[in-house]
Structure 1
Amino acid sequence: MLVHICCSVDSHYFLQKLQNEYPNEKLTGFFYDPNIHPYSEYYLRLLDVKRSCKMLGIDLIEGEYDVENWLEVVRGLEHEPEKGVRCSVCFDRRFEVSAKQAADMGEKSFTSTLLTSPKKSLKQLQSAGDALAQKYGIAFVAPDYRKASGTQEQNILAKEDALYRQDYCGCMFGLNIQRDQQQKIADELFVPVSKQIQPESIESRVKMYEKRWKLEEEKKPYKIVKQRFLNWRLKMGLLRVKKEVIPAHFLPYSTIKGEYTRGKIEYEINGLHAMNRDEVKFITLQQYNRVLETQYTTISSLIFDPPLFEEEVALRSRLGLSAYDLSAILVVESIPANKIEILLQSSIYSDVKESLLEL
């Protein structure tokens, strides 16, 4: 039986139920999910599915990440709600490819771990699976493992085996709708031009779960713990002096009251130059290099290849500011002597992140 897999939380429980119900059936996992965005999230879910299948002794095949074809299929359905028409089209697409894969492999049946997802409609999935099974001359197996406290068992198992628990279905459209309803920013879709890894970004999770994989291979003990913290994302930052755009690097946790401010440099203390409005501060690239012991020659090189996020955060205290300081700090090649204008769109918000502790 070919088993289409959407994520480890659903598949880990679903596969074990199938192993118990079909003990003589060879199960093969098929990870085909071009609906998952961005690619880093797709890679992270695949990584955890590989770990799950390894634990269960199940072979896994990775389908093509043909995201452009998927986007074309759902064109015009971007604003459909969860469990709406877009989801039906998405199931049809993934089930079609899965059914064809099963038929090409000579399998007599296929199924999908989507059946155990509490956010999906069983009726929707059954209809899509049956139609494609008939088309390809195979059977669609649709057990209901949610009943009899199945969802609770699934969550307990996911926690026991420390599976990666994503908090959105997968596609960018559903994610944006979900975050709008939660009045949160969709920071999963934020990728800085610098490619600097942001706190609690998908990229930071990838790094952590790759390290977890390595520790498990080396049989070293670890624990994944959660902590609440103040997160930050920069949407846009621009510095103008006498209406001319000047290269500037905005340090992490830079904020202002609104999105626009203007003024002039009022005073300087120990290399930190303060503007006369909105607590904005400036340091030179030379000062930046001196404090962090870096060797940047231009602001552009700093913007596109900055140090680690944590190193830049630590710079604030090394400049004499408190741990609670959220002032906008701009790094420039020379301190502006004329009228300054700043456009800054950034968000600060309470968030939760996972950390990996080696024991």
Structure 2
Amino acid sequence: MKDADEILKWMNKDQKINYDRVLQKLIKSWQDNNERPKILMHTCCAPCSTFTLEYLCDIADVTVYYYNNNIQPRNEWERRRIVLRNFVHDFNEKTGNEVQIIETEYQPSTYLKEVTELRDEPEGGLRCNVCYNIRLTSAALYAKEHGYDYFGTALTISPHKNSQTINEIGIDIQHLYNTKWLPSDFKKNNGFYRSTEMCEEYNIYRQSYCGCLFAARKMDNLDLKQISREADRFVKLNSDSESNFNLVEFNFQHKEEPVSE
């Protein structure tokens, strides 16, 4: 199967790259060759997963990868995990797909030790780039170890995230670990608007901050204590009644050494 480099080499390097167009060209290559790839899709929450799954599931076998040690407090990480699990279950029921979920252990210290010195960086700055790199590296390693054709992320559906930067980081990781990055800009073609529609259709909780406390503390009118109380109530009400464990594979460790060239 083609990788992003095979398409990017034909594009004008002096212009801003349209990564949605790159993905479309990649999809056409799958269709021309009767290929149906296995994709490991990193996601941070159910809202980002909505249109992403709708877009890809007709042409690929998609597994959702929930690895987000940046989300704090823990009960908010738990709430987003449960909401994601419930959405995937409902999406499968409605569409007939068989999307699975990989859930990793919550280890916020692995994030904090990398970004604490960057606490004063503005949102969208270097701290975010480090966060993207941590999460996409984890996805790439898992994809490499478990035979996925591509690794990608649903983060590009957000208008608040820099898709150019995310794709550049993904391509760098592709080169480092000898795996294939799935280029994307899912907010294009009304993707973000469609995600808001799907959140209403599936009654999905939409969080008010990305998850990072450093950024959240700089937001006006964001009451983290209230968010924590609401998340705690949600988790207590839902943790004992979770019925979607058949969707989930738990992954607690993986190798962290680059693949030899």
Measured in 1, the distance between the counterparts of 2:183 and 2:70 equals 22
Alignment equivalent of 2:78, drawn from 18, 22, 43: 43
Measured in 1, the distance between the counterparts of 2:190 and 2:227 equals 34
> What is the CA-CA distance between 1:69 and the residue it aligns to?
1.3
> What is the CA-CA distance between 1:130 and the residue it aligns to?
0.5
> What is the CA-CA distance between 1:189 and the residue it aligns to?
7.0
**Larger RCO (alpha carbons 8 Å, 6+ apart):** 2
The reply on whether 1:81 has 2:122 as its aligned counterpart is yes
Structure 1 unaligned residues grouped into runs of 5+: 191-197, 217-359
Q: Structure 2 matches for 1:317-328, cutoff 5 A?
A: none
For the structure 1 residues 54 and 183, does the alpha-carbon distance in structure 2 shift closer, same or farther, using more than 3 Å as the test?
closer
Measured in 2, the distance between the counterparts of 1:65 and 1:164 equals 20
Quote the residue 1:27 is aligned against.
Answer: 62
The reply on whether 1:143 has 2:174 as its aligned counterpart is no
Q: Structure 2 matches for 1:103-252, cutoff 5 A?
A: 103-178=144-219, 182-188=220-226, 198=229, 201-209=230-238
Structure 2 unaligned residues grouped into runs of 5+: 1-38, 93-97, 245-261
For the structure 1 residues 172 and 188, does the alpha-carbon distance in structure 2 shift closer, same or farther, using more than 3 Å as the test?
farther
Bigger fraction of residues in helix? 2
Alignment equivalent of 1:9, drawn from 39, 47, 65: 47
| Other structure's SS at 2:132 match | helix
Contact 1:5 1:32 in 2 (8 A): yes
| Other structure's SS at 1:83 match | coil
Alignment equivalent of 1:54, drawn from 89, 92, 110: 89
| Other structure's SS at 2:117 match | coil
> What is the CA-CA distance between 1:144 and the residue it aligns to?
2.1
Q: Which amino acid aligns with 1:30?
A: Y
Contact 2:156 2:166 in 1 (8 A): yes
Contact 2:51 2:192 in 1 (8 A): no
Alignment equivalent of 1:97, drawn from 132, 138, 141: 138
> What is the CA-CA distance between 1:212 and the residue it aligns to?
8.4
Bigger fraction of residues in strand? 1
For the structure 1 residues 208 and 156, does the alpha-carbon distance in structure 2 shift closer, same or farther, using more than 3 Å as the test?
farther
TM-score (norm 2): 0.71
Give the length in aligned residue pairs.
200
> What is the CA-CA distance between 1:209 and the residue it aligns to?
4.9
For the structure 1 residues 160 and 210, does the alpha-carbon distance in structure 2 shift closer, same or farther, using more than 3 Å as the test?
farther
For the structure 1 residues 184 and 150, does the alpha-carbon distance in structure 2 shift closer, same or farther, using more than 3 Å as the test?
closer
Contact 2:167 2:184 in 1 (8 A): no
> What is the CA-CA distance between 1:120 and the residue it aligns to?
0.6
| Other structure's SS at 1:74 match | helix
Measured in 1, the distance between the counterparts of 2:238 and 2:207 equals 13
Contact 1:115 1:142 in 2 (8 A): no
Deviation track 1:260-305 (CA, whole Å, cap 9, x = no partner) reads xxxxxxxxxxxxxxxxxxxxxxxxxxxxxxxxxxxxxxxxxxxxxx
How large is the RMSD of aligned CA atoms in angstroms? 2.0
Q: Which amino acid aligns with 1:204?
A: R
Q: For the pair shown, which has the larger CA radius of gyration, 1 or 2?
A: 1
Q: Structure 1 vs Structure 2: percent identity of aligned residues? A: 27
TM-score (norm 1): 0.52
For the structure 1 residues 160 and 189, does the alpha-carbon distance in structure 2 shift closer, same or farther, using more than 3 Å as the test?
closer
> What is the CA-CA distance between 1:164 and the residue it aligns to?
1.3
**Greater Cα offset, 114-123 or 55-64:** 55-64
